[in-house]
């Protein structure tokens, strides 16, 4: 059994995910915005913020002399990742070109290196009227989003921390949870990992107890997801190994950087109901720095979000509001 383990992705549940084409149009706008500064000479690493703001407003048909107050709530997470970090949509579920009907909509957002940071963002499908539309992929089932929202007072957030594991590891993980933490196994995974297309095995477990360890029920607000490829994985499309994610073409401007997970921080409660921060620095990959980017907002990957801090440095031309 290989004991290899590495970060795969984080999975966020939000109120609404737009169509892929909508995000692609926004990405084109961001790329075109950057291109307007590609030929500027003598600016060094700085760009006049006021000038950049006026250029963006002219491209977005925004009034040049009106500056509405910025609010950090009710933002589109995907657009913030595109504008603030230079990430792009590189995958989706269901496939944008397929006729598959699902109760959820998802997009995969990644950094320039597709093997770096991977953020899956899902919402309920507004076009599906059924309260629970069962999905062939358990990890994309609408019931997961309902459970998450019920555990978080109806608030959106980070729902799943996902890892890729080595050959034979996922069965051992399942056996140990069955023996030591059976209450943390979701009902749909009590029989074992799910196998999809003889390519990938998936196992999900709850991350925390509601109260006393091994006595109380599970806190259904956060899950851990384990992925194990079957064979050499040569038939898998795209960088994300999660079954069902279809690759989407993306254009990265030269200003976009690669970024990699360094550590994850997750919130939980102890047996006395007290809030705590659970920190695990599994291994350091790389630090990427963009400290001057004013588009980064607390609550996404800042102190109030707390799940996947990204450390950055480089130049940012302006604060683009989505």
pTM over 0.85: no
Q: Among 106, 96, 87, 103, which residue's Cα sits nearest to residue 242?
A: 106
Q: Which residues contact 88 (CB under 8 A, 6 or more apart)?
A: 27, 82, 109, 110, 112, 250, 251, 252, 256
Do residues 83 and 99 touch, judged by C-beta distance below 8 A? no
Mean pLDDT for the stretch of residues 23-30? 93
Instruction: List the beta strands (DSSP E) in 113-156.
Output: 118-124
Do residues 196 and 245 touch, judged by C-beta distance below 8 A? no
Mean residue pLDDT of the chain comes to: 76
Q: Residue 271: what pLDDT?
A: 53
- Compute and round to an integer the Cα radius of gyration of the chain: 21
Q: Which residue has the higher pLDDT, 281 or 45?
A: 45
Q: Is the pLDDT of residue 7 over 50?
A: yes
Q: Residue 225: what pLDDT?
A: 96
Strands 157-165 and 218-229: parallel
Q: Residue 27: what pLDDT?
A: 94
Residue 153 has, within 13 A of its CA and on its CB side, a CA count of 0
Query: Tens digits of per-residue pLDDT, 215-238?
Result: 888 989 899 999 999 876 665 666
- The secondary structure of 200-221 as a DSSP string is EEEEEEEEEESSSTTTS-EEEE
Strands 264-269 and 275-280: antiparallel
Split at pLDDT 50, 70, 90, the class of 322 is: very low
Q: Residue 11: what pLDDT?
A: 96
Q: Among 79, 151, 148, 149, which residue's Cα sits nearest to residue 119?
A: 79
Q: Among 151, 213, 211, 224, which residue's Cα sits nearest to residue 182?
A: 213
Q: Which residue has the higher pLDDT, 80 or 265?
A: 80
Q: Residue 39: what pLDDT?
A: 63
Q: Residue 139: what pLDDT?
A: 94
* Residue 273 token pair: 């109901």
Instruction: State the Cα–Cα distance between residues 202 and 308, nearest whole angstrom.
Output: 22
Q: Looking at the chain, list the stretches that DSSP marks H as alpha helix, in order from N- to C-terminal side.
A: 20-35, 49-60, 77-85, 142-151, 169-180
Enumerate domains of the chain plus CATH numbers. 5-280 (3.10.180.10)
Strand partners, 158: 12
Split at pLDDT 50, 70, 90, the class of 97 is: confident
Split at pLDDT 50, 70, 90, the class of 132 is: low
Q: Is the pLDDT of residue 41 over 80?
A: no
**Cis-peptide into 34, omega within 30 deg:** no
Do residues 309 and 286 touch, judged by C-beta distance below 8 A? no
């Amino acid at each position: 059994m290989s004991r290899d383990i590495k970060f795969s992705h984080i999975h966020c549940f939000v109120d609404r995910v737009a169509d892929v084409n909508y995000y692609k149009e926004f990405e084109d706008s961001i790329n075109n915005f950057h291109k307007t500064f590609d030929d500027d000479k003598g600016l060094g690493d700085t760009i006049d913020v006021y000038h950049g703001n006026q250029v963006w407003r002219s491209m977005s048909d925004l009034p040049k002399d009106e500056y509405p107050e910025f609010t950090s709530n009710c933002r589109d997470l995907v657009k913030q990742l595109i504008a603030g970090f230079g990430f792009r949509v590189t995958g989706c579920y269901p496939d944008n070109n397929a006729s598959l009907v699902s109760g959820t909509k998802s997009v995969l957002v990644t950094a320039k290196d597709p093997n770096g940071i991977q953020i899956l963002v899902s919402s309920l499908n507004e076009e599906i009227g059924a309260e629970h539309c069962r999905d062939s992929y358990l990890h994309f089932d609408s019931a997961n989003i309902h459970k998450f929202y019920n555990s978080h007072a109806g608030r959106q957030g980070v729902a799943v921390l996902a890892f890729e594991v080595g050959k034979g590891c996922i069965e051992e993980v399942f056996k140990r949870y069955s023996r030591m933490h059976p209450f943390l196994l979701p009902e749909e995974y009590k029989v074992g990992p799910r196998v999809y297309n003889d390519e990938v095995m998936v196992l999900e477990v709850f991350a925390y107890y509601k109260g006393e360890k091994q006595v109380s029920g599970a806190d259904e607000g956060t899950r851990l997801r384990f992925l194990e490829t079957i064979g050499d994985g040569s038939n898998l499309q795209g960088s994300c190994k999660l079954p069902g994610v279809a690759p989407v073409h993306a254009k990265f401007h030269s200003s976009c950087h690669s970024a990699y997970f360094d550590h994850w921080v997750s919130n939980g409660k102890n047996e006395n109901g007290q809030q705590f921060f659970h920190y695990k620095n599994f291994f350091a990959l790389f630090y990427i720095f963009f400290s001057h980017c004013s588009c980064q907002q607390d609550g996404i990957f800042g102190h109030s979000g707390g799940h996947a801090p990204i450390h950055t440095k480089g130049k940012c031309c302006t604060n683009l509001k989505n």
